[in-house]
A and B are shown apart, each in its own frame.
Chain A
Amino acid sequence: MLELCGISKRLGSFHMSDISLKLKESEYFLLLGPSGVGKTVLIEIIAGLLRPTAGRILWCDQDLTFEQPEARRFAVVYQDYALFPHLTVAQNIAYGLRANGTSREALKERPAALAEMLEITHLMDRLPPTLSGGEQQRVALARALAIKPRLLLLDEPLSSLDTTNRARLQKELKRINRELGTTIFHVTHDPEEAMAVGDRIGVMLDSRIRQVSTVEEMFRRPSDPDVARFLGMANVLPVAAVNGDTCTVQGIEVHADPVCDSTSHIWIRPEEIIMSSRPFEGLDRNRFECRILDWGHRDPLIAVHVALTKSVDGEPLDLTCLVTHASFVKLGICIGSKAYLAFRESAVYCF
């Protein structure tokens, strides 16, 4: 399968260094990174549209680094669809087949089958500029799948779509991956998209890959605070001092298990914070009094932002807690009111 070995690229002021990655067969791999980190550059390097400055690209142990893009059979689907505006939908889908000298029957059959699968049969005679974004992206997908790609490279394929179309295409992408067994390499800046579709996720920050793991692992055990923050995790806090099994965060002592001397940040998982309108009894560690700052929906839970009232010096410590709708009602939360929160030591993740 695809293997990237120490890929580096310099393009003017942009540079990307030492990207190494191994994809499994028929896997849906998702690369997550902020805009400008070089995700599109990486896609174009894999596709052969750009030459890496250093490093090698292997496919089943065969070196592809200097292979022309047309010989690789790695189809790319772009965010802006990149459909040929002068060709009809049917001609767009058949483009790759024609280029590869496919037989006359296959030239009709395959596009028709793909169009049926992606429900664009009724659009076959239309020109791309007359289609909606969602329709165009399904045509682009059909065009890419027509050549039976060994690898499908998706560059932010859902970013220009509205919520309904996004959800629909997400489903279709997963289905393609499952039913056709196409290996997919999908890049996006959106952690939610990553959660929704990927088998494994890689996070790319500062032009290098920081962490590669399964979706569950990624959101459970991020490798460093930057990754955690990029994934949109709340309550990633810098540690001022470590003393035994407690660490000091903005003047507040938090108990965690296990803490080591090198712990620089902690992450208090917001869904594991318990809230109450009365002081907790029984628990003697990680109990705090707080004031409600704000709240907002984060389906299916509600995110409540609070400030701990106990802070000794400097700014008060702000935390986000995720509560169910039922407990939100039960707590009678309103902005400015007092509440209590507690969390177990296991809710604290140390970096």
Chain B
Amino acid sequence: MTTAARRARRLNWFEMILAFLGSLVLLLVLAPLIRITLATPVGDLHKAIIDHEVLRSIAITIYSAFLATFFSAIAGIPLAYLLARKKFVGRSLLLAVIDLPIVVPHSAAGIALLTVIGRNSLIGRIFGHSLAGTVAGISIAMAFVSLPLLINGAREAFAAVPPRLEKAARTLGAPPARVFFTVSLPLAWRGIASAMIMMWARGISEFGAVVIIAYHPMVTPVMVFQRFNDYGLVAARSVAVLLILICVALFVILRALSRSKSEETPYA
């Protein structure tokens, strides 16, 4: 065998080790998901589908995560743009603050949120009642824990747009707001859309913070927990599988949509 061929073979060994380690990681993610899906009889799943309580909770979950993402996007995308483009005092502090929800335990975050939106808080007094136990409260809890995904994703998307394009637009007579809406936002859109999908998906899956803000209306992750506690594994399993299937389906569809729409643009 020639040296070159031997060298090529050695490289193959290295690649096989990489593939092996990589497949371990994949297995960690896929094994439980596939196992639980296969282990659930179709009959159980059907029961879950026709269970009004389950359907209601899935609707509430998807809806509150959508609200959380929608309002966070309106307020958060401009912030992401600011962080991507401007250098200002306290920028790194602001970046750290945005990452805080990642490190704060979510149950603790739920308790902390209660002090702001609970009955005796300022917001509670303005609305006349506590936001705990409402869809608004659930949305706020979801937004709190998933906001870093949106802000960081959108910030990276804006950072990938060459500043020179914005400069050229300014010299052609466009004021900053027009440049933002006609150049920066369209070019960063793909990255922003995928950040929004991530935030929405993260919101749907939130349990810790939401369970403290609102046991009722019941979101599906809380329902899985409740059924597991009250009736055991089998009862919880079918609800869990249904939620997993719906999430994966929505996730795949939305990602495909956000990708195909921005195929023409080379940035973000």
Contact = CB atoms under 8 A, between A and B. Distances in A.
A54 interface: no
Contacts of A84: 165, 169, 183, 187
Contacts of A72: 171
Interface string A102-127: 00000000000000000000000001
Interface residues of B, number: 21
B187 A76 contact: no
A147 B172 CA distance: 7
B266 interface: yes
B178 interface: yes
Interface of A is mostly: mixed
A100 B186 CA distance: 20
B91 interface: no
Given A80-B164, A86-B186, A99-B178, A75 B172 contact: yes
A99 B266 CA distance: 24
Nearest to B172: A96
A114 B170 CA distance: 21
Contact of B172 (A68, A78, A127, A143): A143
B174 A99 contact: yes
A40 to B, nearest CB: 10
Nearest to B264: A127
B172 A144 contact: yes
Contact of B162 (A82, A146, A153): A82
Given A80-B164, A82-B162, A82-B164, A99 B267 contact: no
Contact of B168 (A73, A76, A100): A76
Contact of B267 (A73, A85, A127, A146): A85
Interface in A111-170: 127, 129, 143-144, 146-147, 153
Interface in B212-268: 264-267
A69 interface: yes
Interface residues of A, number: 29
Contacts of B183: 84
A275 B174 CA distance: 61
A95 interface: yes
Contacts of B174: 70, 95-96, 99
A334 interface: no
Contacts of A49: 167, 170-171
Contacts of B164: 78, 80, 82
Max count, chain A CB within 10 A of own CB: residue among B169, B172, B267: B172
A47 interface: yes
B173 A76 contact: no
A48 B172 CA distance: 12
Contact of B266 (A48, A129, A153): A129
B179 to A, nearest CB: 9
A95 B264 contact: no
B266 A70 contact: no
Interface string B66-105: 0000000000000000000000000000000000000000
Contacts of B186: 86
Given A84-B183, A85-B266, A86-B264, A76 B175 contact: no
Contact of B167 (A73, A82, A99): A82
Contacts of B169: 84, 95, 99
Contacts of B267: 85
Contacts of B165: 82, 84
A76 B167 CA distance: 9
Interface of A: 44, 47-49, 68-70, 72-76, 78, 80, 82, 84-86, 95-96, 99-100, 127, 129, 143-144, 146-147, 153
Given A70-B171, A86-B187, 6 more contacts: A48-B170, A70-B170, A78-B168, A80-B164, A85-B266, A100-B173
Interface of B: 162, 164-165, 167-175, 178, 182-183, 186-187, 264-267
